[in-house]
């Protein structure tokens, strides 16, 4: 099973490659697969975006739930129906 990786890690890897490090070296440095580094850099070069499309699809519903209940817990937010 794949593990979730942070946006911060993705951003740091992309910056390292932009500063001249190879994708393979950056992957080793940050502890991800070389194919992941290649995919992240390609996505950034293609779209200029490092955000997850999966969560962005629910952006409005998530923000509405937070607006309705300011102290909502992550577990409550996860159980919230985003339609």
Domain boundaries, the chain: 7-51, 52-83
Q: Which among 71, 26, 66, 62 is positioned nearest to 44, based on CA atoms? A: 26
What is residue 28's predicted lDDT score, i.e. its pLDDT? 97
pLDDT at 78: 83
Residue spans of the chain under pLDDT 50: 1
- If one counts every other C-beta atom within 10 angstroms of the C-beta of residue 18, the result is 12
pTM comes to 0.57
Per-residue confidence (pLDDT) for residue 21, from 0 to 100: 96
Secondary structure, 3-state, 10-40: HHHHHHHHHCCCCHHHHHHHHCCCHHHHHHH
Give me the pLDDT at residue 82, please: 61
Give the pair of three-digit tokens for residue 13. 């890897």
End-to-end Cα distance, the chain: 27
């Amino acid at each position: 099973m794949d593990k979730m990786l942070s946006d911060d890690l993705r951003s740091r890897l992309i910056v390292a490659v932009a500063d001249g490090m190879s994708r393979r070296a950056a992957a080793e440095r940050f502890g991800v697969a070389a194919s992941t580094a290649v995919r992240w850099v390609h996505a950034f070069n293609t779209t200029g975006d490092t955000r997850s499309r999966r969560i962005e699809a629910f952006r409005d519903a998530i923000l509405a739930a937070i607006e309705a209940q300011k102290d909502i817990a992550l577990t409550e937010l996860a159980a919230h129906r985003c339609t």
